[in-house]
């Protein structure tokens, strides 16, 4: 990244931070301590999707990430299968004991469109 003067003419140094996007169902046994020791600073984890899906093992996975990472974010994958308020409640329920210990993130990506679950196909188009 380039260093640029700030509004007062001082040079600011911008540094990239590195981390990963993980899913507890597909990356079981991920070693967060090893990742932190290697200089990775954050992890973002899928907590829920739609009105009912939550990756198996999410709670334990999130606790491990929170223990070792500088920043842990947990996200809800918003899709078109249910109204937004229903999905928000599901997200908060899925967070369980890690609620308040990590950043909450809303992931909006309409790649599910081809499966009929995209935002424009479902309930959110009506909300």
User: How many Cβ atoms from other residues are within 10 Å of residue 59's Cβ?
Assistant: 17
Sequence spans of domains, the chain: 18-125
CA distance 1 to 111: 30
Work out the mean pLDDT of the chain and round it to a whole number.
Answer: 80
Fold type of domain 18-125: TIM Barrel (3.20.20)
User: pLDDT tens, 93-124?
Assistant: 999 999 999 999 888 766 555 555 555 555 55
Per-residue pLDDT for 69 more than 80? yes
Q: Is the model's pTM score more than 0.85? A: no
In this structure, are strands 42-49 and 71-78 parallel, antiparallel, or unpaired? parallel
Q: Based on the number of CB atoms within 10 Å of its own CB, is 44 exposed (0-12), middle (13-18) or buried (19 or more)?
A: buried
pLDDT higher than threshold 70 for residue 127 = no
């Amino acid at each position: 990244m380039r260093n640029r003067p700030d509004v007062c003419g001082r040079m600011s140094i911008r540094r990239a931070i590195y981390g990963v996007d993980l899913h507890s169902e597909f990356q079981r046994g991920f070693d967060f301590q090893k990742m932190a020791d290697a200089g990775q600073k954050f992890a973002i984890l899928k907590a829920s999707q739609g009105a009912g899906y939550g990756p198996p093992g999410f709670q334990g996975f999130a606790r491990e990430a929170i223990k070792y990472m500088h920043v842990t974010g947990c996200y809800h994958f918003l899709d078109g299968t249910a109204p937004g308020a229903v999905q928000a409640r599901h997200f908060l329920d899925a967070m369980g004991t890690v609620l308040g210990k990590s950043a909450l993130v809303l992931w909006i990506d309409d790649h599910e469109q081809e499966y009929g679950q995209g935002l424009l196909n479902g309930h959110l188009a009506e909300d």
